[in-house]
Structure 1
Amino acid sequence: MKSDKVKQNKYKLIDLFAGAGGLTLGFTDGRFSGEFECIFGVDNDPAAVLTHNENFGDHSICTNIEDWLDSEPNIPRADIVVGGPPCQGFSLLNKNREGDQRRALWEPFMDVVELSGASAFVIENVQGLLKSPEFSDIEKKAIELGFLVKAKVLNSADYGVPQTRKRTIIIGCKPANVESILDFPPSKTHSATPESDGLLPWKTVYDAISDLPDPEGTSIRRCDPPLDIHFGRSPTAISLERYKAVPPGGNRFDLQKNAPHITPQCWIKKKSGGTDLFGRLWWDRPSVTIRTEFFKPEKGRYLHPDKNRPITHREAARLMGFPDDFKFMGSKIQIARQIGNAVPPPLGGAIASYMADLLSKHKKKAA
């Protein structure tokens, strides 16, 4: 997948908080969009930077973005800056959001937008961002820099990802054509009700992973994809019994009903909430949101639809929309973090096609 060949007539892209490069892949790979060339990336996760460089060329650096900006770097000229500032500060899972300094990481992002001379930007974050005070601050700063701004919560399943992952997408473009940005977001390609909408049906867990054989071993293997990261775990006897007690589509409440003697006491005492915990994915639906600890069933609905095991790294990557030839670097834990933190590439591709159209209109107006 990696190519260091200079691509002609492609929009130049900088990816900040790039992670493994799910958004980069959506913008640069012809299977999704392919109208952009990544010229630079920044992330503070060493393993993620290795993955990004392995797949896109040696363009990404491992550093803290604020320290990097303080060093007065030579920022390359770009057409667009994309990225997802760390979402923990906005996430509903973070109960102590007040005063979280990570909220402010949109500021160095916008500094790079300005210093690179970009005509457009894309920010991806959890859906809570759209109703936070920070969104107003981002919008105000972007307007000061001469951008038109639009934002919407998008569901990845509506764009061909076998996962119902909802994220805030903020876009900005220079106001060469006011009308061109009014039709945001990109048109959906898939639907939960395809017959009435005239769209393709949502992709399901079955579509994504049903062809994979049973996993082998418990470690990353030196073999061709998809089996390289299609490995299992070594569950304890009690864990295996818990898996067996959860029926198709079930969750922790079914575990408690069927096997109360091996149900954790904290779950028995907690009568409500957490309906996805220790749940099985459904074959005929998209998956739930894949997070960084998808290999732990106690963290969510991450049990295989009918096998007595959690989903594998390969299955999680496919449920994110990563093609099998995308090469992840690092340990099992590091790769899981890269998968769970990524932007699903098909969603990135839909946004990329939309932004390429905006940039084309901007250049025509500027000419």
Structure 2
Amino acid sequence: MKQINRDLHNQKKLKAVDFFCSGGGMSYGMQNVGIKILAGIDVDESCMETYKANIREAEFIHADVFELKETELQNRLSLKKNDDELVLIGCSPCQFWSIIYTDKKKSKKSKNLLKEFRRFVEYFNPGYVVVENVPGVLRKKRASGLAGFVRWLKTNGYKVHFDVHEVSEYGVPQHRKRFTLIANRVTTQEIMPIPITGKKVTVRDVIGEHNGFPKVSHGHKDNTDFLHTVAGLKKINLDRLAITPKNGGTRLAYVNNERLVPKCHKGKTDGFKDVYGRMWWDKPSPTITTKFFSLSNGRFGHPEEDRAISLREGAVLQSFPKSYIFKSTSIANTARMIGNAVPPKYASAIGKAIIQNHKNAV
């Protein structure tokens, strides 16, 4: 009994500040395994209500990290330097380094966010540092500032793990590759996220009528917190879905249909087939992007119903619980918050590894 109480005490001592917190995916996952979240910081005020609704004991700090001063954060949260129990988390917006086409001009400022986060790490010298981002940060490690950051961490006594991980290995019902860095100066151990054992979680495990998702039509609006809201479809897209095979069907079902095939796909049987496609029941879903509510942006068709997946279905495929509350004014804004999030179960896998390491240090 004494050992159990000591372990619980050690868990409670760990505390975190979540930079670029958005709607709280990382904070929620860390909190679920026993790490106290002191605050989430984000420049996007539209995610504040969602964050506060779910990470209730934490403070939401609306701030631009380019302007936020280390001493200001120190005073506001009563943070100490060289605190072995402090975890600083930086999951900065990643559009600039993504391989998915985005307007790089709009996201250019975000390319330096890792360098700004480094300022706080250098100032506070916390026991643990976590960075999660797109794999492109690793491919461009010099330009992104990653190479210099890792060098600084190692020079200053941190044991650093950084690699690209597939989140479906950690209980998330989704294929999603993410760069993850975990730095630790409390012990000499390299910390890695803790994977699940057994079979991967699939689409069938989390959505469908058997999981509390009633059948609905395209354009369905759910005004409750459950948010089983679905984008509307034009008739031509409904006609396309009607002949797309259930459970993994693709646009190849109508590639030679003069009326239904988009001009850019006419006669093409190779190349990218996910657009307008359906998910498979018994596989993890494809990556849930910020446009997962739209059939034309990926394999976001329901495995058997003639519609794209709903907002809540996208959220549970990101491993948010069905009880998670999203406060937003539109489908697009809610989907952006969900698609940009760190999957909470992946965050928990990182948190568990840090807690385990911290126990070993005592």
Partner of 2:351: 352
Equivalent position SS for 1:106 = helix
Q: Deviations over 1:27-85 (max 9, x none)?
A: 102xxx1x211111111222212211111125112221112238944353261011311
Decide whether aligned partners of structure 1 residues 42 and 95 sit closer, same or farther in structure 2, where only a CA change above 3 A counts. closer
CA contact (8 A) 2:134 2:178 kept: yes
1:330 CA displacement: 0.8
Equivalent position SS for 2:96 = coil
CA contact (8 A) 1:69 1:108 kept: no
Structure 2 unaligned residues grouped into runs of 5+: 1-9, 80-84
Partner of 2:166: 155
Partner of 1:14: 17
TM-score, normalised with respect to structure 1: 0.84
Decide whether aligned partners of structure 1 residues 270 and 46 sit closer, same or farther in structure 2, where only a CA change above 3 A counts. farther
CA contact (8 A) 1:26 1:349 kept: yes
1:86 CA displacement: 1.3
Report the AA paired with residue 245 of structure 1.
I
CA contact (8 A) 2:318 2:343 kept: yes
CA contact (8 A) 1:47 1:330 kept: yes
Q: Equivalent of 1:239, from 232, 237, 240?
A: 237
Paired with 1:171 and 1:243, the residues of 2 have a C-alpha distance of 43
Number of equivalences: 335
| 2:122 paired with 1:114 | yes
Q: Equivalent of 2:312, from 314, 335, 340?
A: 314
Paired with 1:350 and 1:95, the residues of 2 have a C-alpha distance of 29
Paired with 2:254 and 2:177, the residues of 1 have a C-alpha distance of 28
Partner of 2:61: 61
Equivalent position SS for 2:16 = strand
CA contact (8 A) 1:80 1:113 kept: no
Paired with 1:8 and 1:170, the residues of 2 have a C-alpha distance of 21
Name which of structure 1's ranges 306-315 and 127-136 shifts more when overlaid on structure 2: 127-136
1:154 CA displacement: 1.1
TM-score, normalised with respect to structure 2: 0.85
Equivalent position SS for 2:93 = coil
Partner of 2:187: 177
Paired with 2:237 and 2:275, the residues of 1 have a C-alpha distance of 14
CA contact (8 A) 2:255 2:269 kept: no
Report the AA paired with residue 13 of structure 2.
K
Paired with 2:326 and 2:104, the residues of 1 have a C-alpha distance of 31
Report the AA paired with residue 162 of structure 2.
A
1:311 CA displacement: 0.2
Paired with 2:103 and 2:206, the residues of 1 have a C-alpha distance of 36
Coordinate RMSD, CA, aligned? 2.4
1:346 CA displacement: 0.9
Decide whether aligned partners of structure 1 residues 284 and 125 sit closer, same or farther in structure 2, where only a CA change above 3 A counts. same
Decide whether aligned partners of structure 1 residues 215 and 113 sit closer, same or farther in structure 2, where only a CA change above 3 A counts. farther
1:220 CA displacement: 4.1
Report the AA paired with residue 61 of structure 1.
I
Q: Equivalent of 2:223, from 221, 224, 227?
A: 221
Decide whether aligned partners of structure 1 residues 276 and 101 sit closer, same or farther in structure 2, where only a CA change above 3 A counts. same
Paired with 2:109 and 2:229, the residues of 1 have a C-alpha distance of 37
